[in-house]
Amino acid sequence: MRQFARALVLVSVLALAGCGGPKGFTKGSYDDPTRVELLDDKFNEADMQSMADTIVKSIIACPEIAADKRPVVIVDQVKNSTEEHIDMKMLTDKIRTALVKSRRVKFVDKEAREVLDEEYRYNEAGNVAKEKQKKRGKQTGADYVMRGAMGTNIQQVGNDKFIYYKLTMDLTNLETSEIDCTEEKELRKQYRKRSIGL
């Protein structure tokens, strides 16, 4: 009888252990990143793609950019003035990548400056053959600074929620401080609260 009771307790403990605790995702498949599917009321990859496409087309069509032979741009901070955590670096990387691929604009890498400085010091220390050394003073200066900001406005009316996003991006001429190109992209999404039935 005691053995039966112990076995019953052991089975119960194992059954509870199997039912409890967080479940992991065990099966997955690839999905099309360009397919629009609104799973929740947050900024998503479709929003990012739409905004990036608009900004890229506008910059390429900008008369000052079109007149210049591949002007050099440096990316400054793009501010997130929304209440959400939005990866603004991912957004600017997407814009930069598309512009570089267009062959109409070149970029200097602000984030690589510390690494480049370290490499110059390494070259100057005699570690690299003289004929292959890379020297300071030959970097390309930027013609434009790309900067911007994203804001949002949220309204809730009854069961409806409206989310409005606006991204503004500017290209500021480094020599004159004039904004030669500017564009804004607006998105407005509507969500309805699902009623829970019994």
Fold of 43-192: Rossmann fold (3.40.50)
Q: Which amino acid is at 26?
A: T
- The rounded distance, in Å, linking the Cα atoms of 18 and 10 is 12
Q: Could you tell me what percent of the chain has a pLDDT over 70?
A: 78
- The rounded distance, in Å, linking the Cα atoms of 124 and 117 is 11
Domain residue extents for the chain = 43-192
Instruction: Note the pTM of the prediction, 2 decimals.
Output: 0.74
Please give the average per-residue pLDDT across 115-125, as a whole number.
93
Please give the average per-residue pLDDT across 163-184, as a whole number.
95
- Band (pLDDT 50/70/90 cuts) for residue 160 is confident
pLDDT tens-place string over residues 4-17: 666 666 666 556 55
At residue 77, the pLDDT reads: 82
pLDDT tens-place string over residues 21-62: 556 666 666 656 566 565 567 888 889 999 999 999 999 999
Instruction: Report residue 143 CA to chain centroid gap.
Output: 24
- The rounded distance, in Å, linking the Cα atoms of 59 and 110 is 20
Written as one string, the DSSP assignment of 95-125 is HHHHHHHHTS-EE--GGGHHHHHHHHHHIII
Estimate the crossing angle of helix 88-102 against helix 45-61, to 10 degrees. Answer: 40
- The rounded distance, in Å, linking the Cα atoms of 84 and 44 is 11
Supply 6's token pair. Answer: 């112990």
Write out the H or E segment, with its range, that includes residue 150: strand 144-157
At residue 193, the pLDDT reads: 79
- The rounded distance, in Å, linking the Cα atoms of 112 and 99 is 19
Residue 70 has pLDDT above 70, yes or no: yes
Looking at per-residue pLDDT, the higher value among 103 and 42 belongs to 103
Q: Which amino acid is at 10?
A: L
Write out the H or E segment, with its range, that includes residue 180: strand 179-192
Please give the average per-residue pLDDT across 54-82, as a whole number.
91
